[in-house]
Amino acid sequence: MKRKLLLLLTFFALGITTISAQSTYYVDNVNGADSNSGLSENSAWKTLDKVKSTSWRYKPGDNILFHSGQVWEGKFFFNQLFGTNDAPIVFSSYGDGAKPHIKGNGEDNATVQLMNCGYVTFNGFEVTNKGEQQKGGRYGIEIRANNYGEIYGTQVINCDIHDVNGEQEKGKGQGGGILVKNTGSTVRSRLVDVLIEGNHIYDIVRNGIYGNYNFGLENPFRNKNIVIRKNVIERIPGDAIVAFGMENALVEYNICRDFTPLLDANDNAAAGIWAFNSSNTIIQYNQVSGHKAKHDGQGYDADFNCENTVIQYNYSFDNVGGFLLICSDGSKSTAFNTNPIVRYNLSIGDGFRTDGKKYANKAPSIHIAGPVEGAQIYNNTIYTPEKPSSVAKEFVKSNSWFGVSNNTSFYNNTFYGVDAMLFDMTSSRNNIFSNNAYHGTTNILDDNPIVGTLLGNHYDSLTNKNTNGFNVDNNGGKDFFGNTASNNSVGFFSGNDQSILSLSKRLVANTLEVAIDGAISNANVRVVNLVDSLMEEHSAVSGVLSIDVSTYPQGVYMVILEDGSSVTTQKFIKVKDVEFDELEPTPNPIPKPPVETLEDEITLNVGEVKPLVIKNTLTWKSDNEAVVSIDGNGIITTLDGGVALISAFDDKGELLHEITVVSISNGAVSVPQITNVISAETSAKILFTEGENSTYHRVGYKAEGKPWQIVDSVYNTALDSYQLSDLEANTTYHFRIRAMNSTNISAWSATTSFVTQLNEIDITLSEREVNLNTGDKHQLIATILPHEAANQELLWNSDNPSAVKVDNQGVIEALAGGIATITVTTLDGNVTTSATIISTSSGAIGIPVVLDISSSETSAEVAFTEGSNATYHRLEYRIKGSLWVEIDSVFNTSVDTYRLTELLKGTTYQFRMRAVNGTGLSSWSKIQTFITSGSNARLNGNTSISNLEQEISIYPNPISSGFANIVLQKETNNLVIEIYTSIGQLYKVEKSTNISRYKVDISGYSSGIYFLKIVTDNKIYTKRITIR
């Protein structure tokens, strides 16, 4: 028995030795040394480089701890670091003092980058990234998935991120505190289950927490289950939190406040917390205040390319642009915004902007722009104190943005205005107003308005219980404060639930009385804000406790009663201490108009007259006088349905502003008539007369035997024509058109048929890229298109016969390692195409020799001798002291030179190369140093591409002008073409659908070699094209 027990213990002892123990590593920048083991405080490492270079050693459950109170300078980048759900890899701190500080100094786009890092936690650091000058794309921390599939469980918590100087303008790259992003074109990749919690982000340009995702993918592959919680973001000019490119994001309990001014540049909009290009986003329990942007500037935003956005239980105050934006860009055919829900929010004092180039004096509480579908806005409370006299007095503004909203509902909201306020719904469609409570409104649109209940002290009126509302199903079940919400309650407050803990008021300026009703022992009461920061704490007994909150910052707070056996929480809001007029204000039925008319688009009905005001305007012009006329005083008159562009010019003839005026007609419309069709190879121009009394037209077209394609909202202009594009050549098409206005639609016109033309003769090759070993032979087959073409004789040529030769029948032979372009041309020389032949050698390989480097401001010409027995070469260059940039597969040609482009001016570079063949590679050549002339400029990033199998024809190739034809073996539903330069930089992206042939316009391209990455039907092909 003893022997069996001994064997069993020995077995377990041996088993234990195979289990990897979790380790803790220490980093001390003062007393550490990189030669130490790092496994104790007394043998700590010293540098970031050591921590990064040893990352291969880290295992699930390991901790890498930095000494508190110390500073490390440089960038902290990790790639492919993986813990597990139960045992993450944790970067954190030890010892007393301030958080360890990683100081980036603007050396890279991020100070900390966690790329493809799953179940990795970055906890409790100070991070800065301030360069000598502002730079677009600069962030403190970047979390990224790149060409690696789904990356789970990355966490950034309890960090202080500040002093990051990105760019103020969106168009210049922005920048911010934390970036959540996925990229890559070879493996669909995204982040899943990310947690960003407890961070303090401040004194940063431009944004706080920002998302992004790979737009290059045909179908969205958004980052999923991102949680952004209990962060404080302050003193930034731009967007506080943007759920961009996310699925099922949760943004809650964040404080965003004290925004700094944002540069008033074109399209430089910003708001507090919002969703864009996302689905199923929930934004709840946040507070946003003090936004100052001159474009947008709201507290919250449900933006376009989103579905099912929910904005609930939030507080918004003192934001210049208003409480809420809901929008969709109707000019983009793929844009949408469906089914946003906004409920149980409180807005106080939002919407008072008086300055800005385009949006001065425009700041409605709620702004709805463009073709938003199915928005539900219910049980919100909006209180607007007296606004500056120049600001438009609007609770809700709904305007066209190349389309208007539809099916928007307003139920059970409280609208309290000290001024006389308006609802300006313009041409939005199918709005529903029911059972909303009003005070100070001049044009109530409600079917069942609630009036006379909002009197006396304004704050107290906002929290009066009212159950006269519309019965809203699936309303969330609770109000702003967590009380049970009945289906017919009005406003953000539904009445107090029974509780041992109760508050004298929910909106408190000075003194809060806390009542404890019941026997308690060993209890305490504490007050915390949204991010759990303790404001004060008291011992508690039954009775009433008075708490002075007069010095609290405005915002949302929780009173928590804890007696050892239970925890009870009640919520209140600290509001501004203001004097209220007990008398109901006298409404002004006609609010003052804005100083200037600076909208981009105005929608009017036919017959309406409207004055336009643009400062310093001398002359006005309409480009469609038959629809909209304008006189010398800027007064426009809408004469017929359609659209016109109104331009304002100063006394020097300089354009000041342009306004698109959409004129909506009503009544019966007549059928439009098609007068002519002018067809080309892949397009057609349709001429027609407009239907009488129409505003716009609907166009239908189809190829023979295929379903109809519909193009809607073709507005009437001065040109009565429509251009069809991306058609198939040599194909019969049918076309029809009908007229529409806001109330009626005509019958379809008679159908007109036409045929697109096929004019050119071209050549296709059986293969456009062939890989051979030296000594191999291969037959290329050329076909002249169309087959009925008279000229069927061809000439063959190789541009590198020492590597690959070709005979007059198209038989190629690989003679030596390298690359050659085989060209086949018609006898008259008018039509040509080519194939790329790669000849791979084997055996011992020599080192190439760099002979000379001749540099200019932004480029350098490298002359070299090829490595003996090489097939191609691998090149690397870098700014001295930085990382190498690789250029792979530079094949041997008849010219032994290579041109580096897009370099920085006045910069020291290093260069090296090595030879490669089918069996191995040489050592690197001697490093050569050169300096570009001129002053510094910025280098574009490189994108690597890989050669994949070829199944698609491109002709002509080489090509010198016109269009390159891409011919697919069969028709495809979706085609994406990415065009790269010879060093892998993305040059252009083109897309099309339902085609088997596509034309690429090469006008504007520089001479050289380009690679086409072609994505179709979930397959990827890479082709080469030469432009001469």
More confident residue, 638 or 347: 347
pLDDT at 451 (0 to 100): 82
Tell me which amino acid residue 882 is.
S
pLDDT of residue 666: 66
CB atoms within 10 A of CB 1024: 20
Q: What confidence tier does 85 reach under pLDDT thresholds 50, 70, 90? A: very high
Task: Phi first, then psi: give them for residue 185, nearest 5 degrees.
Answer: -115, -10
Cβ-based neighbours of 293, under 8 Å, separated by 6 or more: 237, 238, 259, 262, 268, 269, 270, 271, 320, 321
pLDDT tier for residue 939 given thresholds of 50, 70 and 90: very low
* Chain segment 189-216, per-residue pLDDT in tens: 999 999 999 999 999 999 999 998 875 5
pLDDT tens readout for residues 718-752: 567 888 888 888 889 998 988 877 556 677 889 99
pLDDT band at 599 (very low <50, low <70, confident <90, very high): low
pLDDT at position 26 over 70: yes
For position 272, what pLDDT does the model report? 96
Q: Which residues have C-beta within 8 Å of that of residue 441, sequence separation ≥ 6?
A: 395, 415, 417, 420, 421, 422, 423, 587
* 501-574 CATH fold: Immunoglobulin-like (2.60.40)
pLDDT of residue 171: 84
**Residue range 762-840, CATH number:** 2.60.40.1080
The least confident of 517-521, 633-637, 890-894 is 890-894
What confidence score (pLDDT) does residue 14 get? 35
CATH class of 849-932: mainly beta
Q: What is the pLDDT of residue 581?
A: 45
Q: How confident is the model at residue 11 (pLDDT cuts 50, 70, 90)?
A: very low
How does pLDDT run across 59-78, given as a tens digit for each residue? 999 999 999 999 999 999 99
pLDDT at 321 over 90: yes
Condensed to tens digits (0 to 9), the pLDDT of residues 827-886 reads: 767 778 888 887 777 777 888 888 888 888 888 888 888 888 887 788 888 887 777 777
For 375-404, write each residue's pLDDT tens digit.
999 999 999 988 999 999 999 999 888 888
Q: Give the model's pLDDT for residue 921.
A: 74
The confidence score (pLDDT) of residue 607 equals 72
- Report the DSSP beta bridge partners of residue 698: 738
Share the mean pLDDT of the chain.
83
Report which of residues 658 and 547 the model is more confident about.
547
- Give tens-digit pLDDT for 345-360: 999 999 999 998 888 8
| 604-664: in CATH 3.40.50.300 | no
Q: Cβ contacts of residue 158 below 8 Å, gap of 6+?
A: 123, 124, 197, 198, 199
DSSP secondary structure letters along 436-490: -EEEEESS---SS-EES---SSHHHHHT-----S---SS--SB-TTS-B--TT--
In this predicted structure, the answer to whether residue 547 has a pLDDT above a threshold of 70 is yes
Indicate the range of 63-77, 435-449, 888-902, 996-1010 predicted with least confidence.
888-902
CA–CA gap between residue 801 and residue 813 (Å, rounded): 9
Q: Is the pLDDT of residue 649 over 90?
A: no
Between CA 107 and CA 115 the distance in angstroms is 18
Of the candidate CATH numbers 3.40.600, 2.160.20, 2.60.40, 1.10.3470, the domain formed by 97-422 belongs to: 2.160.20
Look at residue 3 and give its three-state secondary structure.
helix
Higher confidence at residue 380 or residue 783?
380
Give pairs for 961-964: CB < 8 Å, separation 24+.
961/1002, 961/1003, 962/1001, 962/1002, 962/1003, 963/999, 963/1000, 963/1001, 963/1002, 964/999, 964/1000, 964/1002, 964/1025
Mean pLDDT of 37-66: 95
Per-residue pLDDT, 61: 96
pLDDT in the model for residue 891: 67
Question: What span, in angstroms and rounded, lies between the C-alpha atoms of 847 and 828?
Answer: 44
What pLDDT was estimated at residue 897? 82
| Same topology between domain 97-422 and domain 762-840 | no
Secondary structure (3-state) at 9? helix
Domain residue limits, the chain: 97-422, 501-574, 604-664, 673-756, 762-840, 849-932, 952-1027
Provide the CATH topology of domain 673-756: Immunoglobulin-like (2.60.40)
Report the SS3 class of residue 958.
coil
Task: Find the angle CA(489)-CA(491)-CA(495) to the nearest 5 degrees.
Answer: 55
Looking at the predicted structure, is the pLDDT value of residue 459 above 60?
A: yes
Average pLDDT over residues 542-563: 91
Q: Residue 648's pLDDT band (boundaries 50, 70, 90)? A: confident
DSSP structural state of residue 285: S
In angstroms, rounded to a whole number, what is the distance separating the alpha carbons of residues 918 and 438? 80
Determine what percent of the chain is predicted with pLDDT higher than 70.
88
Pairing of strands 732-740, 696-703: antiparallel
What's the average model confidence in pLDDT over 279-307? 95
Q: What is the pLDDT of residue 582?
A: 39
Beta partners for residue 809, in sequence order: none
Q: State the average pLDDT over residues 280-306.
A: 95
Say which CATH architecture domain 952-1027 belongs to: Sandwich (2.60)
Give the pLDDT band (50/70/90) at residue 9: very low
Per-residue pLDDT of 139-174, as tens digits, reads: 999 999 998 999 999 999 999 999 999 999 988 899
The per-residue DSSP string of 367-419 comes to EEES--BS-EEES-EEEE-PPPTTS--EEEEEE-SSS--BS-EEES-EEEEEE
**Res. 318 pLDDT band, cuts 50 70 90:** very high
- Local confidence band at 637 (pLDDT 50, 70, 90 cut-offs): confident
Share of the chain above pLDDT 90, in %: 40
Contact indicator for 147, 110 with CB cutoff of 8 Å: no
Helices (H) and strands (E) in the chain, counts: 3, 88
Mean predicted confidence (pLDDT) in 350-373: 92
* Confidence (pLDDT) at 2: 35
Average pLDDT (917-934) is 82
pLDDT score of 792 more than 70? no
